[in-house]
């Protein structure tokens, strides 16, 4: 029974991810999600108390998948700076190849507009910020990242730059130039992080 419940929850989350990516929070209804998942409203309310709860769970579910995918491929690189560059490139490729990951961007912007410090949604960003901060620390240990940088503050700055590039790309090109803008950001970022000879 527990395995069946886990499967139905995953079906709802996958259906919700696609719907939120395409239509945003306001444009997605519980009926849309249950219809797309092939499950009943009863099944929905067994797992989630509201659309807001579903949106938070969907964001977290796809965020964890995306970070795991990125970290696995970035982890194959010889140093932390190359891992950071790979991570951001793999992220762009994943967003292009699997449209359901778009819910991380869409919900990130929409829920982030109203969520405050200390909210559950704000706490979810620790996963990504922590990942970037760890890369900075690793790079400092390896001698490729400037030792005087504060790893946490730098991880937050990398996260902020990534989110900013997402927003500008969406506003100016409908995200068609996200790859090019990510490369521009990386050029500036790697030069800023790199330890001088």
CATH number of 59-193: 1.10.357.10
Tell me what pLDDT residue 5 has: 87
Residue 99 has pLDDT above 90, yes or no: yes
Tell me what pLDDT residue 1 has: 55
| Mean pLDDT, rounded, of the chain | 95
Residue 197 has pLDDT above 90, yes or no: no
As to burial, measured by CB atoms within 10 angstroms (0-12 exposed, 13-18 middle, 19+ buried), residue 57 is middle
Identify which has the larger pLDDT, 115 or 77: 77
Residue 71 has pLDDT above 80, yes or no: yes
Q: Quote helix, strand, coil % in the chain, to nearest 5.
A: 80, 0, 20
Cα 194–chain centre separation: 25
Please state, in angstroms and as integers, the Cα–Cα distance from residue 178 to each residue in 74, 81, 107, 167, following that order: 19, 20, 18, 9
Token output for 96? 């292009």
Q: pLDDT by residue (tens digit) across 110-163?
A: 998 888 889 999 999 999 999 999 999 999 999 999 999 999 999 999 999 999
Number of CB atoms found within 10 A of residue 62's CB:
25
Token output for 18? 């696609």
């Amino acid at each position: 029974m527990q395995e069946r419940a886990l499967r139905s929850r995953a079906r709802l989350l996958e259906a919700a991810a696609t719907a939120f990516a395409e239509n945003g929070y306001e444009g997605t209804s519980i009926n849309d999600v249950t219809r797309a998942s092939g499950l009943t409203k009863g099944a929905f309310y067994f797992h989630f108390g509201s659309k807001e709860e579903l949106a938070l769970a969907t964001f977290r579910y796809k965020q964890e998948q995306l970070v795991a995918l990125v970290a696995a491929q970035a982890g194959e690189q010889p140093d932390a700076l190359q891992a950071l560059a790979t991570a951001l490139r793999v992220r762009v490729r994943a967003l292009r190849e699997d449209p359901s990951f778009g819910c991380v961007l869409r919900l990130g912007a929409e829920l982030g507009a109203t969520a405050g410090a200390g909210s559950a949604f704000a706490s979810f960003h620790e996963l990504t910020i922590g990942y970037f901060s760890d890369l900075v620390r690793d790079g400092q240990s390896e001698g490729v990242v400037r030792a005087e940088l504060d790893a946490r503050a730098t991880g937050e700055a990398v996260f902020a730059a990534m989110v900013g590039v997402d927003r500008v790309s969406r506003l100016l090109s409908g995200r068609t130039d996200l790859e090019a803008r990510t490369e521009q950001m990386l050029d500036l970022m790697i030069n800023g992080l790199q330890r001088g000879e």
